[in-house]
């Protein structure tokens, strides 16, 4: 009928089909899916864990205490900072500390640390409103980065992970299950607990999980982790490894040094932050996980893109020179192109590196609501950052790749 109507109006059939294709391209471009958004511990309900924790773990798992300046998060006896703070650092908002945080405040984001305040990222209505404001149709949501570094007791840690995962899927359904897709926090205390939680969360309808790669009982390249990769492959449950920064970066040694040099330290740490996922990439491929489980998919979360070609070359060269005993049947870099993904926010050197990394392996994310996120200007950044790429490649990066990986159908 559509062709007949066009024909009656005197429109050439080929021209009509071309216009329809262009409209389809434009409509798809409107449906941005962020592959890297967040719910940080600072934004979680104050009693999420403490209201249901077994007595023996109540002092270990996250809870809040009221102080003069508002609620503070206490984890395993340590004050981590304010509730409803700025990003994963539990920071109070200080105008001028972060340029983009000031821009977020001007756009309507606020941080009130006192009981009863609205936490925008964990209030269904405001989270959806913030997606709309940013022009983002759907999101993959990482939960409580580094919480597993805060809880020493392994059983309490795994319980806290499960409790968050139950809450996260409920929150997504209250917000909009067709737009908000939480990732599970996968316990890193043992491969057995991790594999069990992968299977449990897959049955609940969670599409993937994040596994903290620091503080594991054995290294990521160890065969003990095979049950996790097997469970992930069987359940079609992609496993993410989100960057959390290098450990051991030299910090100011004294209070006096911190006063004068804190900005220097912050510059070094933030500039190198995403590169800790280099270790993950080489470890996963070296472990044989991709060789043994070809359906296993993994993601380097918020890792950036343009360092990958160098590491591909270094990895392939090192394998040829000193690691052929691993018995891989492909070049190490080819396993990434078959089974690996990266997410990025913005990258001035993205365009020439896309063919080297693979246009099917790159996913964009806005990083909402972190201090260096793109909210609420994601579309403006993408228009500039992706301008040199073809419409097909652009669509893959902002929509198709993440939709395919997590089986998301954005209507």
Q: Domains in the chain, start-ordered, CATH in brackets?
A: 121-406 (3.20.20.140)
> What is the band of 13 on the pLDDT scale with cuts at 50, 70, 90?
very low
Q: Read off φ and ψ for residue 151, nearest 5 degrees.
A: -110, 115
Instruction: Report pLDDT for 319.
Output: 98
Tokens standing for residue 341: 């993904």
Quick: pLDDT tens for 338-355: 999 999 999 999 999 999
Two tokens, residue 249: 């970066």
Mean pLDDT of 50-54: 98
Q: What is the pLDDT of residue 304?
A: 96
Tens-digit pLDDT profile for residues 154-170:
999 999 999 999 999 99
Q: What is the pLDDT of residues 377-403, one digit of tens each?
A: 999 999 999 999 999 999 999 999 999
First and final C-alpha spacing in the chain: 23
Which one has a higher pLDDT value, 205 or 247?
Answer: 205
Instruction: Report which of 301, 309, 298, 296 is spatially closest to residue 276, judged by C-alpha positions.
Output: 301
E strand map for 83-198? 136-143, 180-182, 184-186
Q: Specify burial of residue 269 (Cβ count, 10 A radius: 0-12, 13-18, 19+).
A: middle
The more confident residue out of 11 and 99 is 99
Per-position b or e across 121-144, b if 16+ CB within 10 A of its CB: bbbeebbeebbebbbbbbbbbbbb
In angstroms, what CA-CA distances link 98 with 79, 333, 370, 372, 373? Answer: 23, 37, 11, 8, 11
How many H-runs (helices) and E-runs (strands) does the chain carry? 17, 12
Question: pTM for the full model?
Answer: 0.91
């Amino acid at each position: 009928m559509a062709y007949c109507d066009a024909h009656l109006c005197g429109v050439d059939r080929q021209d009509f089909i071309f216009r329809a294709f262009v409209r389809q391209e434009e409509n798809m471009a409107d449906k941005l899916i962020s592959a890297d958004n967040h719910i940080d511990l600072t934004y979680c309900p104050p009693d999420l864990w403490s209201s249901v924790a077994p007595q023996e773990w109540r002092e270990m798992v996250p809870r809040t205490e009221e102080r003069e300046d508002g609620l503070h998060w206490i984890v395993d006896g340590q004050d981590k900072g304010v509730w409803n703070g700025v990003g994963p650092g539990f920071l109070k908002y200080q105008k001028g500390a972060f340029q983009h945080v000031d821009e977020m405040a001007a756009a309507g984001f606020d941080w009130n640390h006192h009981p009863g305040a609205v936490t925008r990222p964990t209030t269904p209505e405001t989270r959806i409103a913030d997606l709309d404001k940013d022009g983002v149709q759907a999101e993959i949501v990482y939960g409580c980065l580094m919480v597993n570094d805060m809880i020493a007791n392994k059983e309490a840690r795994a319980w806290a992970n499960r409790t968050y995962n139950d809450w996260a899927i409920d929150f997504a359904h209250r917000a909009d299950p067709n737009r908000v897709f939480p990732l599970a926090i996968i316990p890193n205390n043992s491969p057995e607990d991790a594999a069990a939680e992968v299977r449990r969360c897959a049955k609940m309808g969670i599409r993937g999980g994040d596994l903290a790669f620091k503080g594991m009982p054995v290294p990521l390249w160890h065969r003990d982790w095979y049950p996790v990769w097997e469970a992930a492959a069987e359940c079609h449950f992609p496993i993410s490894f989100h960057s959390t920064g290098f450990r051991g970066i030299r910090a100011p040694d004294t209070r006096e040094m911190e006063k004068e040099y804190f900005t220097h330290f912050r510059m070094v740490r933030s500039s190198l932050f995403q590169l800790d996922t280099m270790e993950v990439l080489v470890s996963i491929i070296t472990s044989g996980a991709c060789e043994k489980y070809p359906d296993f998919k993994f993601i380097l979360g918020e890792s950036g893109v343009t360092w990958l070609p160098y590491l591909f070359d270094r990895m392939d060269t090192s394998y040829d020179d000193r690691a052929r005993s691993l018995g891989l049947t492909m070049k190490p870099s080819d396993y990434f192109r078959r089974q690996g993904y990266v997410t990025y926010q913005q990258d001035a050197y993205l365009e020439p590196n896309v063919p080297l990394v693979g246009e099917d392996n790159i996913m964009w994310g806005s990083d909402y609501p972190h201090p260096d996120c793109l909210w609420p200007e994601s579309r403006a950044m993408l228009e500039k950052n992706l301008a040199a790429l073809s419409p097909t490649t652009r669509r893959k990066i902002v929509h198709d790749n993440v939709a395919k990986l997590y089986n998301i159908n954005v209507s």
